[in-house]
Structure 1
């Protein structure tokens, strides 16, 4: 259940975020580089994709000045930032 759900003003469910941090932050990279054992273990892993996802998201805020959503995680000690795409509209689906 490591996700952030978004609801509209009327309480209707809109979407969920599960995280997609495909690159380590500069601080995380420094931590990995500082430990040869950590570097070795990371090379042995088939896929690091599970690190992209949220691990215990604990805080969410919207920055209206920069039009972005910030999600804080307690397990991975990071903030994932989502920039809102300007002018984006849902495509119309005719079924």
Structure 2
């Protein structure tokens, strides 16, 4: 589903995009898990979050949508955001 997105230098650690009705859908780890890009389904909406240092209570960035076709754009934006943080 996200094959055309450049997640480097991250590593895809979970890909459950065949099942969009589950909480855990997609995850990418960056720099020994210092940053994590996580996509999940939360009852009525999809959420893409950027987590730093395993602090799930305070995401660095969070984007939400209700339509599956909007996910691709949000995941790409978040991947670009993390890449910008890492290269600073």
Could you tell me the TM-score, scaled by structure 1's length? Answer: 0.25
Largest Rg, 1 or 2:
1
More strand by share: 2
